Amino acid sequence: MNRYHPYLDWIEQQQSPMAQRLAAWSRINSGTTHREGLARMLSALQEAFSVLGGTMEVLECDPVDHVDEAGNLQALQLGKVLHLVKRPEASLKVFLGGHMDTVFGKDHPFQEPRRQNGRLNGPGAADLKGGLVVMLTALQALERSPYAAGIGWEVVINPDEEIGSPGSARLLAACARRNQVGLLYEPALADGTLAGARKGSGNFTVVLRGRAAHAGRDFHAGRNAIVALAEYTQALFALNHLREGVTINPGQVAGGGAVNMVPDLAILRFNVRVSTVTDQQWLEEKLDRLDHLFLERDGITLQRHGRFARPPKPISPANEKLFAAVAACGHMLGVPLTWQATGGCCDGNNLAAAGLPNVDTLGVRGGNLHSDREYALLDSLAERAKISALLLMRLASGEERL
Ligand SMILES: [Zn+2]
């Protein structure tokens, strides 16, 4: 343990620059659909991560479909991915991942970070910009140490995690195949607990079309898409009570127009969560059946878009071993670490499904994610960077074997 101290002590001295860097990154609006903001965030990351050496590349996301307000499929323009590799020839290779996007759109009122009582309240402060600061600092400590030569690493920072990483999924799957260990920098809970098993998730959009007609003169000739959608939504929501571990959340509706017109378009966007692959198959079958019921209706058409973007993440034996290795580092640093199952999901789900054992909440301690009360606990920046750095150095020196 003592031999790692100089590099861990160096992290301790970085507390204030780390906090400053986090505030600066939080101030850059990088909502998933805000491409200029994502480009600004990308340059800030390029500059900061360039100190690590290695081969840096900016990669395009794969094209992704999106259902627009008129119910039509459009190509969604995503931001770019930062990709960095060092010592790819090493026999032990570690993947480190995080995302630069946030859930806060360009015009969201939550823009300016505020520092108060050891917290940074700001967009993306915990999810996941704090984690990016932690990842960078841990890698800097590793690279300052003589152990670095014993390990190769690959970093991916994607711009589309908050919508399920549709444009970076292929790259992440490739990373899962060429690395042996995955470290992701999603936030831990405020008390430091890490996420264990995670639910799977899917996002869907249903477009129901009816027939427009004059609400007075031709009322009976019309087919009301809003009413059909209301019935569809009720039937969908009723599936919530049928199977433990499955939840369905209708999240957004749109449609209709002038009130003297029978509406011919209504759109529902919904999110589903499942605990197991069998749950997913069960739900897929229910959704197909529901679609058919509505397609049989006179004058109504239905299209369902979307998919299960994130498979459930059960804890495999390889994953348990990795958790134990992380917990051992925490123990040596006087930071007890435990983990618990969560309904949330992240890129760790997809990496696990592609065969890469990973711990996905190595970022800052924080809370109130996805709300304007989001915060990161600033003392966790150095604390969590030390845990990652120690793990990397122990893996690199061969003291920890997985
Ligand atoms: Zn996140």
pLDDT at 277: 92
Look up the CATH architecture of domain 2-198+313-397.
3-Layer(aba) Sandwich (3.40)
Q: Which helix (H) or strand (E) holds 98?
A: strand 93-99
- How are strands ordered across the β-sheet holding 200-209? 247-255, 265-274, 200-209, 301-310
The predicted structure's pLDDT at residue 398: 96
Cβ contacts of residue 209 below 8 Å, gap of 6+? 71, 225, 264, 265, 300, 301, 302
Q: What is the mean predicted confidence (pLDDT) over 325-345?
A: 95
- pLDDT tens profile 77-91: 999 999 999 999 999
Rg for the chain, CA atoms, rounded: 23
Tell me, what DSSP letter sits at residue 128?
I
How many A from CA of 27 to the centre of ligand 1? 17
Ligand 1 centre distance from Cα of residue 149 (Å): 30
**DSSP string over 43-60:** HHHHHHHGGG-SEEEEEE
Q: How many residues are listed for the chain in this entry?
A: 402
Distance 291 CA to ligand 1 centre (A): 32
- Cα of 370 from ligand 1 centre, angstroms: 9
Q: What does pLDDT average to over the chain?
A: 96
Residue 2, pLDDT score: 87
159 alpha carbon to ligand 1 midpoint, in Å? 11
Q: pLDDT by residue (tens digit) across 307-326?
A: 999 999 999 999 999 999 99
- The neighbouring-strand residues paired with 371 are none
Residues with CB under 5 A from ligand 1 (ion): 127-128, 186
**Nearest alpha carbon to residue 256 among 69, 48, 46, 21:** 69
SS3 label, residue 102: strand
| Per-residue pLDDT, 402 | 87
CA of 163 to the centre of ligand 1 (A): 10
**Per-residue pLDDT averaged across 21-27, rounded?**
98
CA of residue 61 to ligand 1 center, whole Å: 18
The dotted CATH code for 200-310 is 3.30.70.360
* C-alpha span between 129 and 57 (Å, rounded): 20
Distance (Å, rounded) from C-alpha 93 to C-alpha 150? 9
**CA of 242 relative to ligand 1 center, distance in Å:** 30
**Mean pLDDT for the stretch of residues 179-189:** 98
Distance from the CA of 101 to the center of ligand 1, in angstroms? 8
The CA 127 to ligand 1 mean position distance, Å, reads 4
Which helix (H) or strand (E) element contains residue 351? helix 347-353
Structural tokens at position 226: 């809003």
Sign of the torsion angle spanned by Cα atoms 33, 34, 36, 42: negative
Give strand ranges (E) for 199-289.
200-209, 213-214, 247-255, 261-262, 265-274
Strand-pair partners of 265: 209
Residue 214: CB atoms within 10 A of its CB come to: 12
Sequence spans of domains, the chain: 2-198+313-397, 200-310
Q: Which two tokens stand for residue 98?
A: 């995080």
Per-residue confidence band for 208, with pLDDT thresholds at 50, 70 and 90: very high
Question: Rounded CA gap, 95 and 390, in Å?
Answer: 16
Phi, psi of 130 (to 5 degrees): -60, -40
Q: Output b/e per residue, 7-23; b: 16+ Cβ within 10 A.
A: bbebbeebbeebbebbb
In this prediction, residues 98-115 reach a mean pLDDT of 97
- What does the pLDDT look like over 42-81, one tens digit per residue? 999 999 999 999 999 999 999 999 999 999 999 999 999 9
Question: Parallel, antiparallel, or unpaired: how do β-strands 181-184 and 358-359 relate?
Answer: parallel
**Residue 366 alpha carbon to ligand 1 centre in Å:** 12
If we measure between CA atoms, which residue out of 141, 156, 104 comes closest to residue 125?
104
